[in-house]
């Protein structure tokens, strides 16, 4: 610390906290001055070693380095987690797209199946209607045929009765004619004989 004027230096003993010690450079020779500089340098080194502020700075720098390493590690972990998160998001998007595609395919398949089932039901309804119409037609034709058969049976029965009656009459006439084949003057007065003659 300089006070102007002569070459007098006030040196503060920072280690002990004492007052400034005046140094008169002009009263020292060169050897003493060099020794004093060496002592001051050694004292400055001791001050650097014993100074708590320097120790704190070193601790701060060491802590800063440790924090930097931790920060780098944490940033690396965050970067890794970010990558994993991006991968998960991409996978979720792909799964979502896959679900949309599957849902669309299922809906399309369901629509096609529903359309085919509806067509099958329509065709079934048409076939059932045709079968019912055919059954009704067959029933009508069956009824008509049965009526015709009954009518033919009645007609045949009537014709059978007529033929039976005629056969009986023919047999009767044959018997009468055979009985009256001999000459008899009264045969012309027999009505049955005359009827047989007219019938023949």
Residues 87-110: tens digit of each pLDDT: 999 999 999 999 999 999 999 999
Beta-bridge partner residues of 192: none
The total number of structural domains in the chain stands at 2
How far is 194 from 190, CA to CA, in rounded Å? 6
Whether residue 22 has pLDDT greater than 60: no
Q: Are 79 and 97 in the same domain?
A: yes
Whether 117 is in a domain gets the answer yes
Residues in the chain: 200
Q: Are 45 and 103 in the same domain?
A: no
Q: Are 5 and 64 in the same domain?
A: no
Whether residue 131 has pLDDT greater than 50: yes
What does the pLDDT look like over 137-171, one tens digit per residue?
999 999 999 999 999 999 998 998 888 888 888 77
Whether 184 is in a domain gets the answer no
Q: Are 151 and 71 in the same domain?
A: yes
Kindly give, in sequence order, each residue whose CB lies less than 8 Å from that of residue 50, ignoring residues fewer than 6 positions away: 15
What does the pLDDT look like over 42-65, one tens digit per residue?
555 554 444 555 555 655 566 556
Give the pair of three-digit tokens for residue 124.
């079934």
How far is 71 from 65, CA to CA, in rounded Å? 9
Q: Are 61 and 149 in the same domain?
A: yes
Provide the pLDDT for residue 78: 86
Determine the structural domain holding residue 91 and report its residue range.
54-160
Give the pair of three-digit tokens for residue 115.
């359309």
Provide the pLDDT for residue 19: 52
Whether 176 is in a domain gets the answer no
Q: What is the mean pLDDT of the chain?
A: 73
Q: Are 46 and 58 in the same domain?
A: no
Provide the pLDDT for residue 74: 75
Taking the CA of residue 55 as centre, how many other CA atoms within 13 Å lie in the half-sphere pointing to its CB?
Answer: 6
Q: Are 103 and 11 in the same domain?
A: no
> pTM above the 0.85 mark?
no
Whether 12 is in a domain gets the answer yes
């Amino acid at each position: 610390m300089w006070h102007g004027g002569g070459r007098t230096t006030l040196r503060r003993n920072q280690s002990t906290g004492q007052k400034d010690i005046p140094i008169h450079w002009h009263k020292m020779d060169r050897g003493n001055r060099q020794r004093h500089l060496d002592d001051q340098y050694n004292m400055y080194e001791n001050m650097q070693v014993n100074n708590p502020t320097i120790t704190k700075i070193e601790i701060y720098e060491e802590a800063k380095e440790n924090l930097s390493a931790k920060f780098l590690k944490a940033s690396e972990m965050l970067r890794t987690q970010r990558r994993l998160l991006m991968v998960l998001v991409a996978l979720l998007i792909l799964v979502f797209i896959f679900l949309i595609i599957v849902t669309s395919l299922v809906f399309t398949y369901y629509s096609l199946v529903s359309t085919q089932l509806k067509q099958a039901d329509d065709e079934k309804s048409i076939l059932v209607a045709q079968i019912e119409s055919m059954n009704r037609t067959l029933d009508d034709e069956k009824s008509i045929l049965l009526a015709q058969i009954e009518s033919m049976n009645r007609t045949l029965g009537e014709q059978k009765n007529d033929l039976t009656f005629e056969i009986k009459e023919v047999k009767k006439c044959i018997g009468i004619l055979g009985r009256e084949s001999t000459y008899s003057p009264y045969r012309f007065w027999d009505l049955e004989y005359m009827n047989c003659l007219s019938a023949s």
